[in-house]
Amino acid sequence: MNIAQLLERSARLHAERPALAVGSQTVATFAELGERVARLAAGLAARLRPNDRVGLVMKNCPAYVELMFACWHAGLVAVPINAKLHPRELEYILGHAGARLCFATPDLFPAVAGLAVSDMEAAIEIGAPDWHGLFAAEPMPPASRAAGDPAWLFYTSGTTGRPKGVTLTQRNLMAAVLNYFADVDAIAPGDAIIHAAPMSHGSGFYMLPHIAQGGLNVTPESGGFDPAEIFELLRAHRGVTMFAAPTMVKRLVEHPDPAAVPGLRTIVYGGGPMYVADCKAALARFGNVLVQIYGQGESPMTISCLPRAMHADTAHPRHLERLASVGPAFTGVEVRVADAEDNPLPPGEIGEVLVHGDTVMAGYWNNPAASAETLRNGWLHTGDVGSMDADGFLTLKDRSKDVIISGGSNIYPREVEEVLLRHLAVSEVSVVGQADAEWGEIVIAFVVPRGTAPDTAELDALCLDHIARFKRPKRYVMVEALPKNNTGKVLKTRLRELLA
């Protein structure tokens, strides 16, 4: 099993169909993409050994598709990394993964080239001579891979503040592709996906089913999300799918473009809470195009799904309750809500969400203790709290480990707290999320000063020196003490109540 064979098959079946586009312009057919990937894989295989890791610090572009499939074609492990991260964060991830090579788009290459990563032989800039030189090799056939071989290292932070590398295997990726076809959407040859969300995350996963079915992968000329540009692309392409965070959907709904968008087929949303009012507004504007997915890096995009038919079923007596849920489990995936001893709970009771199936990761890269804890008793322990109704619809009550989801990006409070505690005038700090109509949540830091209250401009500067800009608190609240229980644990629920 090699996931790269999805492209090899489409390069034969859909040879002359467009495979890659920037904006409205096709840049490669499937035959051309298949040829370039086979050559790039050979160039990589000449420098690396099977299972070596390859970092990708890139904004969305056609080369993202080429590199991901070339890594798999050559028997390597792709390590896509959030392009918005701070250089220190990039350095840690590349070092922890043991990346031998790292590819970067021109805007990010200077930061990557300056990193000190012990195992990394070279950083390569997309479009530079050493990039083009990799295509000089003769095409190679896809490497032989076992179902359990690693294919994608997906870095996701935990409450320790250090990112963990989720090891996704060939089997995991193939199962996710089949889940897409079973529960999310059918794809016809010539349909398109617009990669407005980062390809290092959810949008990149959805590259796979589109490649498998001869679909066109479109990157906006901006490389990201701009509502006006998206409306133009929806008029330029047909059968269009987008993966979007709820805040992106809200911005599309509120955009004043008056024209119809007949090319829009599906908006798959996830990565944060979608308010029922926003969901209804999107349905009113775009019609029956919404599909919600719930997943996490450890079972990517594949825990539960609320399909378009259930969004549109307004006659159902519990329609609004279902819109507030994250739907039933994906086909072939077991989901249960359990107590502290992992015993399944009856409908309506609240507990931890557990997951079992071929979509669940092999474990955390070089972290056996965390792997054993998260995968104990054969189930993925998500850390998310929810309840299941009698029909199997899952509703989340709280998010995992106090994670803040702002604009579709995960922000882990302890990581921010550890940075703020570097300031000499900060005695204690606790970071929580506050509901926000545009971003879903924003970051709020409760600070206990050590004597004189710290200057908030200095706290901002400290954050910008150590973590990505989007993780910086939007507001600092100075307090005399943090609320704690009798074991000394900060009661973040009490802090959220204060904000409410």
Domains of the chain as residue ranges with CATH: 5-386 (3.40.50.12780), 403-499 (3.30.300.30)
Using one digit for the tens of pLDDT, what is the confidence trace for 281-304?
A: 999 999 999 999 999 999 999 999
Q: Is the pLDDT of residue 487 over 70?
A: no
Instruction: Write the single-letter amino acid at 451.
Output: G
Using one digit for the tens of pLDDT, what is the confidence trace for 376-424?
A: 999 999 998 889 999 999 998 766 567 788 888 878 787 898 899 899 9
What SS3 state is found at 403? coil
Rounded Cα distance between 456 and 346, Å, is 48
Of 295, 76, 104, 106, nearest in space to 205 by CA: 295
Q: Is the pLDDT of residue 204 over 70?
A: yes
Rounded Cα distance between 360 and 364, Å, is 11
pTM for this entry? 0.87
Contact indicator for 447, 424 with CB cutoff of 8 Å: no
Classify residue 226 by burial, with Cβ atoms within 10 Å: 0-12, 13-18, 19+.
Answer: middle
Angle between helices 5-13 and 30-45 (to 10 degrees): 150
- 214 is written with which tokens? 């001869």
pLDDT number for residue 401: 64
pLDDT number for residue 339: 94
Q: Radius of gyration (Cα) for the chain, nearest Å?
A: 23
Task: Give Cβ neighbours of residue 400 (< 8 Å, ≥ 6 apart).
Answer: 296, 382, 383, 384
Residues β-bridged to residue 334: 356
Give the percent of the chain with pLDDT over 90: 81
Question: Going by DSSP bridges, is the β-strand pair 290-296/264-269 parallel, antiparallel, or unpaired?
Answer: parallel
Distances in Å between the Cα of 393 and the Cα atoms of 156, 270, 317, 325, 343 are 26, 16, 14, 7, 18
| Mean pLDDT, residues 110-137 taken together | 95
Using one digit for the tens of pLDDT, what is the confidence trace for 227-238?
A: 999 999 999 999
Q: Is the pLDDT of residue 160 over 50?
A: no
| Mean pLDDT, residues 173-189 taken together | 97
What SS3 state is found at 405? strand
Q: Is the pLDDT of residue 104 over 90?
A: yes
Q: Is the pLDDT of residue 437 over 80?
A: yes
Task: Give Cβ neighbours of residue 146 (< 8 Å, ≥ 6 apart).
Answer: 1, 170
Mean of per-residue pLDDT scores for the chain: 93
pLDDT number for residue 490: 82
